[in-house]
Amino acid sequence: MNAQIISIGTELAIGQTVDTNSAWLAQRLAEIGIHCTRHTTIADELAPIVAAIKQASIEADLLLISGGLGPTIDDLTRQALADAMGKPLVFHQASMEQIEAYFRARNRSMHPDNRVQAMIPQGAAPIENTNGTAPGMSALLNKAHIFVMPGVPREMQMMFVGDVLPKLPRGDGGVILQHSIRTFGMPEAEAGQKIAGLMARGRNPTVGTSAADLIITIRINAHASTREEAQRLIDADAVQIRQLLGRAVFGEGDMTISDAVGRLLIDQQLTISTAESCTGGLIAKRLTDVSGSSAYFTQAFVTYANESKMRLLEIPDALFRSHGAVSAEVAHAMAANGRRISGTDYSLSATGIAGPTGGTADKPVGLVYIGIAGPRGVEVKEFRFGELLGRDEIRDRAAKAALNLLRLSIKPS
Amino acid sequence: MNAQIISIGTELAIGQTVDTNSAWLAQRLAEIGIHCTRHTTIADELAPIVAAIKQASIEADLLLISGGLGPTIDDLTRQALADAMGKPLVFHQASMEQIEAYFRARNRSMHPDNRVQAMIPQGAAPIENTNGTAPGMSALLNKAHIFVMPGVPREMQMMFVGDVLPKLPRGDGGVILQHSIRTFGMPEAEAGQKIAGLMARGRNPTVGTSAADLIITIRINAHASTREEAQRLIDADAVQIRQLLGRAVFGEGDMTISDAVGRLLIDQQLTISTAESCTGGLIAKRLTDVSGSSAYFTQAFVTYANESKMRLLEIPDALFRSHGAVSAEVAHAMAANGRRISGTDYSLSATGIAGPTGGTADKPVGLVYIGIAGPRGVEVKEFRFGELLGRDEIRDRAAKAALNLLRLSIKPS
């Protein structure tokens, strides 16, 4: 069983509003084993809406439509469904009474324009809207079961959960379960090749990769007749993926690198502090994103000015003069001194050029030194993130690189 | 001239990721008078992608495609475009060299799988990707100019602005310009009432409000036959809105509170430091989000442990014992001592319970004290953000409240 979703509205088509209804509906469908293959967003124009409904009704078993049910002249979904079905619009008295009751209950008077909302195509059935004035509709056309819902996300969601979902078949008597495995530090192409066997087309589960903010997520989608069977399929693939990708894997589901690091620190009763320049407190912020972080995080020095680095972290002036503030030597001293002064097991440092100004040929924007001081000494890594990334992303990547360095420095228990 | 947009990716079709690329692209098109009539989102399956490209190339003058250009086997856009065009994929040496250069510049070795990214359909032209490994493509098919861009929003946006936009004709259906005015601290309903006259239906420009992360944005959309005329309409409304909303307005466009505060500090040559507990460095991070922040930001103490507050900020132990670490008294001392020790004009402090654990009946999760020390003394404000918000949002709101307190403390010059 496969589904398509159509969202109707000029505000969506011209990009004034981001369509979140389609993703929400697709997720709900996946949860009951119905695979959504296509979303279409169309402006408020009759002919293209009619054409889209007709085409989808030939391709899909289930068609969910949202939007275009309001009372104004640019709300065309009722007429479009009627045209696609080749039927006239007819007045539906019970719907009219529900709309009138909606206004009465709110002590508001109904505008005559709302009457049009009680019209539905002959042969379609209305769906009451308990949360707004626009009734929904259900109909059969070609091979598709069609459900039409309002575009306002809250009204759409209430109607879907209350009236549409109970009427949907469970997909081929099956369910689709999803699981994500999250990695950092291994290029997507390399990860893809290591798990290529699992990514073969037509296989179940389907395994795919996606990249966002340097994190490569491996998605497993298992299709099975029962939840338990789907879970078994996922578990089997997850074991293999973890093995193939090794320490690049930092977590599962929606776990962040901060979560992963926090768990390691808590498990091994280790403490951490930071000494930050270009990241401006971002590494400390990430370390304290996690509830319970007071168990391991004690303090951070954000020393943006050189004078602050000298005063708070006791970096000798000579180091700036011989190597510059953005140097492996200063990152080394910041981490080592930060650790000594804070009295923590580990200390992370960062010094670099976040840009967009301040770069030179020698030290371009995007150059960042990350230091880590720990029980086994001090290590400094140089990163060249490239100046085109922009300030936010350079800082984000520097913070992620720092946390990942910490993660890899701590032996798994 | 009309346009369509196709987004490719199973993660989009099944709702795991919300497609934001289509709305972003449609907005950019609207700004140059090109009307976007349809977006289509399709899973990573070859035949439906080929069919969608073919159909759109018959219906639209301009077709923008994003996604499916990665190096793994589920990235099918190159093949789909070739199939739609009825041409083979050919290897493009210059693209290969650019991909190799991308890796070299980052001191990383290229995986052989990335080679496939240098393949393009015969007759198409590659578009260099300065921000990632996936080159884009442009081609002609039926009546459509087709541009294919990567799915990663940042890469797509850079490529669109740098390489696609300059090649697009300006549309003839008039211009829609958008402008945003951003406010903080005034409830949306109150802002809405103050500018109700401008929000009347059917008016041009249309004026609307939207709320996200405590920031209320007033959006102005003007439709006119020329850019200049649309700009004039926007300017007239903007003047009125600024007047009606007063000091709640902190900026325009996509300006952040950090930007607004940074501008004030630079204009008046003031310096700032922070002394943070529950925000864990987030206020410092926000202050240094702005390029050039070294002019005003010198340092931050992130003192998460009480012992750190005592040692680094000289908070007397007695204060913790009589009032607790989360108290107006401690916030006061942190701001005052932070300012004295840092030697800055202003210092912001934050102490609170970000949760989800650690709350009591007396001091619930979401209770945060923000202190500000400046030339005119020390002020502390108590915030109760409510525990339902969750840790991330409580910290976000605390940081925004701190920056806004600073903004309002500095007299506009």
**Nearest chain A Cα distance for residue B7, angstroms:** 9
Lowest mean pLDDT among B67-81, B206-220, B360-374: B206-220
> Can you list the positions of beta strands (E) in A57-205?
62-66, 89-91, 119-121, 125-127, 136-141, 144-149, 175-184
Among A73, A304, A345, A395, which would you mutate to test the B interface (most chain B Cβ atoms within 10 Å of its Cβ)?
A304
**Average of per-residue pLDDT across A27-50:** 90
CA A237 to chain CA centroid, Å, is 22
Nearest chain B residue to A301 by CA: give it: B301
Q: Give the Cβ contact number of residue A275 at 10 Å.
A: 32
Contact B353, B278 (CB under 8 A): yes
Confidence at B178, pLDDT banded by 50, 70, 90? confident
Nearest chain B residue to A25 by CA: give it: B15
By percentage, how much of chain B surpasses pLDDT 90?
A: 71
* Number of DSSP helices (H) and strands (E) in chain A, helices first: 14, 17
Provide the pLDDT for residue A5.
Answer: 98
Confidence at A172, pLDDT banded by 50, 70, 90? low
Nearest chain A residue to B7 by CA: give it: A39
CB contact under 8 A, B305 and A298: yes
**Nearest chain B Cα distance for residue A376, angstroms:** 24
pLDDT digits (tens, 9 = 90+) for B64-76: 999 999 988 889 9
pLDDT digits (tens, 9 = 90+) for B265-277: 999 999 999 999 9
**Average of per-residue pLDDT across A226-251:** 95
CA B191 to chain CA centroid, Å, is 23
A188 vs B12, B29, B71: nearest CB: B71
C-alpha A128/C-alpha B398 separation (Å) is 42
**Average of per-residue pLDDT across A307-316:** 96
Q: Which stretch of DSSP H or E encloses residue A252?
A: strand A249-252
Lowest mean pLDDT among A306-315, B25-34, B280-289, B393-402: B25-34
Nearest chain B residue to A185 by CA: give it: B108
CB contact under 8 A, B292 and A23: no
CB contact under 8 A, A285 and B282: yes
**Average of per-residue pLDDT across A64-79:** 90
A281 vs B105, B106, B282: nearest CB: B282
Confidence at B171, pLDDT banded by 50, 70, 90? low
A50: three-class secondary structure by DSSP: helix
CB contact under 8 A, A19 and B39: yes
Residues of A in contact with B22 (CB under 8 A): 15, 19, 41
Instruction: Output the six-digit token pair for A262.
Output: 């926090």
Asked if residue A273 has pLDDT above 70, the reply is yes
CB contact under 8 A, B14 and A301: no
CB contact under 8 A, B111 and A189: yes
Please name the residues in contact with A118: beta carbons below 8 A apart, sequence gap of 6 or more.
A91, A92, A93, A95, A96, A99, A135
Asked if residue B91 has pLDDT above 80, the reply is yes
**Nearest chain A Cα distance for residue B71, angstroms:** 6
Query: Of A18, A209, A222, which Cα lies nearest the Cα of B44?
Result: A209
Provide the pLDDT for residue A169.
Answer: 76
C-alpha A121/C-alpha A109 separation (Å) is 26
Asked if residue B111 has pLDDT above 90, the reply is no
Instruction: Output the six-digit token pair for A348.
Output: 């992370």
Provide the pLDDT for residue B79.
Answer: 96
Confidence at B20, pLDDT banded by 50, 70, 90? very high
**Nearest chain B Cα distance for residue A29, angstroms:** 8
| Number of A–B residue contacts, CB under 8 Å | 276
CB contact under 8 A, A37 and B42: yes
**Nearest chain A Cα distance for residue B110, angstroms:** 9
Asked if residue A225 has pLDDT above 90, the reply is no
Q: Which residue's structure tokens are 């000289």?
A: B314
**Average of per-residue pLDDT across A377-395:** 92
Lowest mean pLDDT among A324-338, A375-389, B162-176, B390-404: B162-176
C-alpha B383/C-alpha B185 separation (Å) is 13
**Nearest chain A Cα distance for residue B114, angstroms:** 6
**Average of per-residue pLDDT across A29-36:** 84
Contact B375, B345 (CB under 8 A): yes
A30 vs B15, B44, B357: nearest CB: B15
Q: Which long-range contacts (CB under 8 A, 24 or more apart) does B361-368 make?
A: B363/B324, B363/B326, B365/B394, B366/B394, B367/B326, B368/B278, B368/B326, B368/B394, B368/B397, B368/B398, B368/B401
Kindly give the interhelix angle for A257-267 and A391-409, rounded to the nearest 10 degrees. 30
CB contact under 8 A, A221 and B281: no
CB contact under 8 A, B355 and A391: no
Q: Write the burial class of residue A309 (CB in 10 Å: 0-12 exposed, 13-18 middle, 19+ buried).
A: buried
Confidence at A153, pLDDT banded by 50, 70, 90? confident
Asked if residue B227 has pLDDT above 70, the reply is yes
Nearest chain B residue to A22 by CA: give it: B15
Contact B258, B289 (CB under 8 A): yes
Between vectors from CA A160 to CA A157 and to CA A163, what angle results, nearest 5°? 135
Provide the pLDDT for residue B221.
Answer: 85
- B180, B208, B218, B244, B309 from B196: Cα distances, Å: 16, 9, 12, 10, 48
By percentage, how much of chain A surpasses pLDDT 90?
A: 74
ipTM of this complex > 0.90? no
CB contact under 8 A, A38 and B293: no
Provide the pLDDT for residue A314.
Answer: 97
Three-state SS annotation for B220-269: EEEEECCHHHHHHHHHHHHHHHHHHHHHHEEEECCCCHHHHHHHHHHHCC
Residues of A in contact with B105 (CB under 8 A): 384, 386
Contact B259, B247 (CB under 8 A): no
CB contact under 8 A, A280 and B291: no
Pick from A257-271, A382-396, B131-145 the range whose average pLDDT is largest: A257-271
C-alpha B114/C-alpha B133 separation (Å) is 8
Provide the pLDDT for residue A173.
Answer: 60
Provide the pLDDT for residue B41.
Answer: 97
**Nearest chain A Cα distance for residue B188, angstroms:** 18
Confidence at A150, pLDDT banded by 50, 70, 90? very high
Lowest mean pLDDT among A178-182, B38-42, B373-377: A178-182
Lowest mean pLDDT among A140-144, B52-56, B128-132: B128-132
C-alpha B235/C-alpha B253 separation (Å) is 13
Residues of A in contact with B221 (CB under 8 A): 16
- A6, A34, A287, A392, B396 from A175: Cα distances, Å: 23, 7, 37, 40, 38
Radius of gyration of chain B (CA): 26
Nearest chain A residue to B287 by CA: give it: A280
Average pLDDT, chain A: 92
Asked if residue A243 has pLDDT above 80, the reply is yes
Provide the pLDDT for residue A7.
Answer: 97
B348: which DSSP letter? E
Average pLDDT, chain B: 92
pTM for this predicted structure: 0.77
- A183, A184, A373 from A212: Cα distances, Å: 11, 10, 29
**Average of per-residue pLDDT across A116-125:** 93
Provide the pLDDT for residue B325.
Answer: 96
CB contact under 8 A, A38 and B303: no
Amino acid at A355: G
Lowest mean pLDDT among A171-175, A331-335, B57-61: A171-175
Provide the pLDDT for residue B131.
Answer: 79
